[in-house]
Homo-oligomer: A and B are copies of this chain.
Amino acid sequence: MAGERETIPARRGRAVRLGAGEKLRLINTHGTQVVDTWAFNADDMAECMSMEHSRVAIGGVFPRPGDTMVTNKRRPILALVEDTSPGIHDTLIAACDRWRYILLGAGDDHDNCEDNLHAALAELDLKAPKTPSPWNMWMNIPVGEGGSVSFEPGVASPGDHVVLRAEMDLVLAFSCCPQDILPINGVACNPVDAAFERL
């Protein structure tokens, strides 16, 4: 329902349908949480928001207010219309997955954003044919000298939000990243919840 605040539980995913032109406010409730974000054409789950195509469309690796992300068919799908945070959102890094946590020594049953995506879609009886590279909201991956990347704590404040606008009928999916080994969700390594409101 419009205006109602819904929770994305810590370490879990949520998916939601938006019609073309509808807006959603995504809220970093605690300020420290990374929220992996995906979008799919509601009529064709094979068409999805694509980071590698969007970097061409927006001319960079960091989306800014006014930028519109595009699909793997280079069609506008999701616009960033407002951002109260310092604007650090990653487009370079894969969703964490089962294999990531095995490599980090955390075993093979650690919560992960890839599984969260597919579980959230399944709750809407939807299935994605692949795991697109996500738009990692509030994930602080600076690109340094010579193109190096590093995983740093976020720089948002509690309550910071972005407003996203659907540019087609779409399915949005979010995952509150359960990374608790690297400090990407804050130095406390404590994954927490986030929230959204349809506007």
Contact = CB atoms under 8 A, between A and B. Distances in A.
8 contacts: A50-B94, A51-B52, A52-B133, A56-B149, A59-B148, A61-B92, A74-B100, A75-B99
A142 to B, nearest CB: 9
Interface string A50-81: 11110110011110000000001111000000
A93 to B, nearest CB: 6
Q: Give chain A's interface secondary structure class.
A: loop
Interface string A74-114: 11000000000000000011100101100100000000000
B60 A146 contact: yes
Given A74-B97, A147-B61, A55 B92 contact: yes
Interface residues of A, number: 31
B103 A74 contact: yes
B59 A150 contact: yes
